[in-house]
A = this chain, B = another copy of it.
């Protein structure tokens, strides 16, 4: 996601979950480290596989641990830090002085299993949850205090809560449900067929870029498109070119530069293989449902909330950003996360 949209928000931010008096903002920057290691995972559809896992940790070693997981195209680099200065995918909410404040919380994330394109077999969210467990094992961490997951990360969080309940304090699941919605599955299936069509034609990048364009339509809303692309259609070289086409072309091209078809296909598929019984969720849960989100529609999130076996707080949001609201709507998402993680302020391990 572009970080350009961050600028206007960032200037009005700076309020951390714990207040600015909790630590000296001019102190040493939070430590950050990356780890990469091989582990054998028992993949749900592939049996035992030796896999390379990649994780990133930012924040004091003795702070409460918060796992932060993003959408399907997010990675382990959640936020910029002194050690890793490139923009992260969620600098808006995570970092020094942000909602999830890396001066007081230790943030862990990892690259999705399959994101490097080396695993060409069916993956699902249970495999990602087990990947997280393997990362925690490697770090010698018995239990994460919280997991904040967005979109695919929310689904993985639900699987982790179901499979490794003893290892999780609470779960914040933004715009993700216990199942893929059948309409959204159809939408993704067509994306995968577009990639396959491209592969048939030796035009893999073109197919991948086009599949991403279609995915973009499911991430955003008609309202946003109506505002941004009202100019309408022009004729260009004897063919119609619609208002959103430049934008979509750019989104697709950028994606195809970074991702492989195999990674896209297997991660896309893993959403459609996702399923968690709500009753299997036994850790305190906070969920965000966004009206107009076709990928994780509020009805499904309400079903999850009603069916889960623990306390569940539901926040409902109207947003012109549809599924991507978790990335774009600063204030309500910050409030939800702030409320859900407030108890960590009093836990042991918070630096004074």
Which residues in A have some Cβ–Cβ distance to B below 8 Å?
Answer: 45, 121-122, 179-190, 192-194, 197-198, 200-203, 206-207, 210, 213-214, 217, 221-222, 225-226, 228-230, 232-233, 235, 238-245, 248, 265, 269, 272-273, 275, 294, 297
Contact = CB atoms under 8 A, between A and B. Distances in A.
Contacts of A222: 181-184, 294, 297
A200 B199 CA distance: 11
26 contacts: A45-B235, A122-B240, A180-B232, A180-B242, A181-B225, A182-B228, A182-B230, A182-B242, A183-B217, A183-B221, A183-B225, A183-B226, A184-B222, A185-B233, A185-B244, A186-B217, A186-B245, A186-B248, A187-B217, A189-B240, A189-B245, A189-B248, A232-B272, A240-B269, A240-B272, A240-B273
B194 A248 contact: no
Contacts of A239: 122, 192, 265, 269
B243 A185 contact: yes
B190 A229 contact: no
A190 B203 contact: no
Contacts of A269: 239-240
A203 B229 CA distance: 31
Contacts of A183: 217, 221-222, 225-226, 229, 244
Contacts of A121: 238
B197 A206 contact: yes
B203 A242 contact: no
Contacts of A238: 121-122
A264 to B, nearest CB: 13
Contacts of A206: 197, 200
Closest A-B pairs by Cβ, 5 of them: A183-B222, A183-B225, A185-B242, A186-B244, A182-B229
B194 A217 contact: no
Contacts of A185: 229, 232-233, 242-244
B275 A232 contact: yes
A197 B203 contact: yes
Given A197-B206, A201-B203, A206-B197, A186 B225 contact: yes
Contacts of A181: 222, 225-226
A295 to B, nearest CB: 10
Max chain B C-beta neighbours (<10 A), residue from A222, A226, A294 = A222
A180 B230 CA distance: 10
A225 B202 CA distance: 33
Contacts of A193: 210, 213
Contact of A197 (B188, B210, B297): B210
Nearest to A241: B189
A228 B188 CA distance: 17
A225 B299 CA distance: 14
Nearest to A229: B182
